[in-house]
Chain A
Amino acid sequence: SQTIHQWPATLVQPVGSPLSLECTVEGTSNPNLYWYRQAAGRGLQLLFYSVGIGQISSEVPQNLSASRPQDRQFILSSKKLLLSDSGFYLCAWRGGNTGELFFGEGSRLTVL
């Protein structure tokens, strides 16, 4: 069966520090991968999605970047964090066109 893992689960970082959140999918190949952010009291905002290795689409201009170095690995990064980057980051995958997104457990980032 397919599984999706995110780490770290919780992260507290100072303003200006770098960020790396990792997401790995197991049990499937060539999934579409997504990074969402959920700010406190707000819905989900799509940040990036990828349909294959090295293929990244950015949905909103921001302080973050994404990379897909391997088929089942999706990384969210920042060179210098801002306070506004705090939030709950969710990785998701979709296999083919079934329409259903499968979400990881999320990574909570607090920038101080």
Chain B
Amino acid sequence: AQSVTQPDIHITVSEGASLELRCNYSYGATPYLFWYVQSPGQGLQLLLKYFSGDTLVQGIKGFEAEFKRSQSSFNLRKPSVHWSDAAEYFCAVERSAGNKLTFGGGTRVLVKP
């Protein structure tokens, strides 16, 4: 069965600093990969997704993620964090299109002024 690991439960970053959130998955083939963001008490919003092609994916809100097959990773990055980026971030994996998403445990990001 596929699984998704987000090693960092909490990350605190200063406003304007860079941010990187880690995501590792376990699955034999290259799955479909997603990053979602959840503001407190809200549903989830898709930041970006990777199906194939260029391994560096650009998303909304200035986020990007890089797929590294050799490391089974799909880390999310943002060069300069804004206070509004404080939220919980979820990595998700899907074996193939139309299949079921498996979510990681999430990483909560706190932004210091």
> A43-B90, A97-B98 known; A90 and B43 CB under 8 Å?
yes
Q: Give CA–CA (A105, B46) in the complex, Å.
A: 14
Chain A: number of interface residues, binned into ranges:
20 to 34
Closest to A49 in B: B100
Residue in B34, B90, B103 whose CB lies within 8 Å of A99: B34
Q: Is A112 an interface residue (CB 8 A)?
A: no
> A90-B44, A99-B97, A105-B43 known; A43 and B105 CB under 8 Å?
yes
Closest to A105 in B: B43
Question: In the complex, are the beta carbons of B43 and A43 less than 8 A apart?
Answer: no
Q: Mark A32-63, 1 if CB is under 8 A from B, else 0.
A: 10101000001110100100000000010000
> A43-B90, A43-B106, A44-B90 known; A103 and B44 CB under 8 Å?
yes
Question: In the complex, are the beta carbons of A99 and B44 less than 8 A apart?
Answer: no
Q: Give CA–CA (A108, B40) in the complex, Å.
A: 12
Q: Give CA–CA (A42, B6) in the complex, Å.
A: 11
Question: In the complex, are the beta carbons of A46 and B41 less than 8 A apart?
Answer: no
Q: Is B64 an interface residue (CB 8 A)?
A: no
Q: Mark B86-113, 1 if CB is under 8 A from A, else 0.
A: 0000100010011011111110000000
Question: In the complex, are the beta carbons of A99 and B49 less than 8 A apart?
Answer: yes
> A90-B43, A90-B44 known; A101 and B101 CB under 8 Å?
yes
Q: Give CA–CA (A98, B103) in the complex, Å.
A: 17
> Which A residues contact B (CB, under 8 angstroms)?
32, 34, 36, 42-44, 46, 49, 59, 90, 92, 94, 96-106, 108
Q: Can you spell out 10 A-B residue pairs with CB atoms less than 8 angstroms apart? A: A43-B106, A44-B44, A44-B103, A44-B106, A90-B43, A90-B44, A97-B98, A99-B51, A101-B46, A106-B43
